[in-house]
Amino acid sequence: MIRINWSEVESVKTQLLRGGATDSHEMTVIIFYHNRSDCDKLQIQLAELEEALFDIGSNHNVKGLFLYDLAMKKPYLKCEEVDRASALESVPLSGHPSVVTSFGKMSPEARDVWIEIAIAQQQHYVNEGV
């Protein structure tokens, strides 16, 4: 079961609203599962964020999720299991093994998103170790 830091969710939502986003601002949630090597992509609006995350977080088969805006090429939030493996033990850190093999086949926008996510994860890992 994933851990959702609700204060981070509220912070992301507040940041977006202050930046000019409305409740109808569309975002994508990428959901990773224990029993599947692929992922699901769920389109949501900002107003639906808490409800969608609550529903996803209650699914015991989910091992992680990313919230991002593909148009802006910006990842906003990452939620993972509390007892996940070390960041250095898996490539990529998202737990989605086909990303490495299909990276060259992705659209430039999708590659930019995955690069942003990987960089953010590495920065988080380095800062957590300090």
Chain segment 10-20, per-residue pLDDT in tens:
988 898 899 88
Does residue 48 fall inside a structural domain? yes
Evaluate if pTM is beyond 0.85.
no
pLDDT score at 127? 67
Dihedral over alpha carbons 114, 115, 116, 121 (to 10 degrees) = 90
Asked, for residue 1, whether it belongs to a domain, the answer is no
Query: Does residue 73 contact residue 49 with C-beta atoms inside 8 Å?
Result: no
Q: For 30-74, how does the pLDDT look when each residue is reduced to its tens digit (9 = 90+)?
A: 888 888 878 888 999 999 999 999 999 888 888 888 888 766 677
Which range of residues forms the domain containing residue 62?
Answer: 6-129
Q: How many CB atoms lie within 10 A of CB 124?
A: 13
Confidence of residue 129 (pLDDT cuts 50, 70, 90): low
Q: Is 62 a domain residue? A: yes
Number of domains observed in the structure of the chain? 1
- Phi then psi for residue 123, to 5 deg, are -65, -40
Burial class, 44, CB count within 10 angstroms (exposed 0-12 / middle 13-18 / buried 19+): middle
